[in-house]
């Protein structure tokens, strides 16, 4: 199987100017993944399925991930004047990384016996920019799993053939797999 970097190069050859990123995975057991820009995600997914050297014809699972806002601390080297002499010093700088939701697809090629290739789609944030293109038109096996992500995480999949709740009741107002979800009975502080 080709590496994610090689697959990225194949995609860029077919879609010049596409925004792709290889996301490393810290665990030695898990491969890196490809982050797709959702502007061309459906076209790139179709390419991954139809390209004769790749033929990722099966999406085995699709899941949602909630990445809340976090504060990252990093050391930065700066030039300072210390006792009248300009010197290089290290400072600890904090920066906030915005939160987002993610849909993660695990793809296999049954025809070529290879995989998984993991692709990711990210929302703009966790509140009002939570729409991603549905990949159900490319892989039919995504249909129920994208509905589950919609129901539990709140990601709306544009172009999904039947986007409605699948586990929670229709008038349920929240998304129980989000990290900031508080069940109705647990909202009061406990002694």
Task: Write the pLDDT tens digit of every residue in 14-40.
Answer: 999 999 999 998 777 778 999 999 899
pLDDT band, very low/low/confident/very high, at 188 (cuts 50, 70, 90): low
Is the preceding omega at residue 146 within 30 degrees of 0, hence cis?
A: no
The 10s digit of each residue's pLDDT in 42-75 is 999 999 999 999 999 999 999 999 999 988 888 8
pTM: 0.86
- Find the mean pLDDT for residues 166-172: 90
- Distance, in Å, from the CA atom of 23 to the CA atom of 41, rounded to the nearest integer, reads 16
Inform me whether the pLDDT recorded for 185 exceeds 70: no
Residue 190 clears pLDDT 60, i.e. is over it: no
* Structural domains present in the chain: 4-67+98-180 (3.30.460.80)
pLDDT score at 29: 75
Residue 31's pLDDT is what? 84
- Whether the pLDDT of residue 189 is over 90: the answer is no
User: What is the distance of C-alpha 18 from the center of its chain?
Assistant: 16
Contact assessment for residue 15 and residue 45, using Cβ atoms and an 8 Å cutoff: no
pLDDT over 90 at 95, yes or no: no
Longest dimension (CA), the chain: 70
Tell me what the pLDDT averaged over the chain comes to.
91
In this structure, are residues 169 and 76 in contact, taking their beta carbons and an 8 Å threshold? no
Is the per-residue pLDDT at 177 higher than 80? yes
* Residue 148, pLDDT score: 97
SS3 159: coil
> Please, are residues 108 and 115 in contact by the beta-carbon 8 Å criterion?
yes
Specify the higher pLDDT residue, 178 or 189: 178
């Amino acid at each position: 199987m080709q590496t994610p970097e090689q697959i990225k190069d194949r995609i860029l050859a077919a879609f010049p100017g596409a925004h792709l990123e290889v996301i490393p995975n810290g665990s030695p057991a898990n491969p890196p993944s490809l982050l797709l820009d959702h502007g061309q995600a459906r076209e790139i997914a179709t390419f991954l399925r139809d390209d004769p050297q790749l033929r990722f014809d099966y999406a085995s699972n699709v899941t949602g991930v909630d990445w809340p806002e976090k504060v990252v601390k990093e050391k930065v080297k700066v030039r300072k004047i210390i006792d009248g002499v300009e010197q290089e010093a290290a400072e600890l700088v904090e920066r906030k990384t915005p939160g987002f939701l993610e849909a993660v697809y695990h793809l296999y090629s049954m025809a070529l016996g290879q995989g998984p290739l993991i692709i990711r789609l990210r929302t703009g944030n966790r509140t009002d920019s939570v729409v991603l293109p549905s990949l159900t038109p490319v892989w039919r096996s995504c249909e129920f799993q994208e509905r589950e992500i919609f129901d539990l995480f709140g990601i709306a999949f544009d172009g999904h053939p039947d986007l409605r709740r699948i586990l929670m009741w229709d008038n349920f107002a929240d998304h129980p797999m989000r990290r900031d979800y508080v069940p109705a009975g647990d909202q009061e502080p406990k002694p």
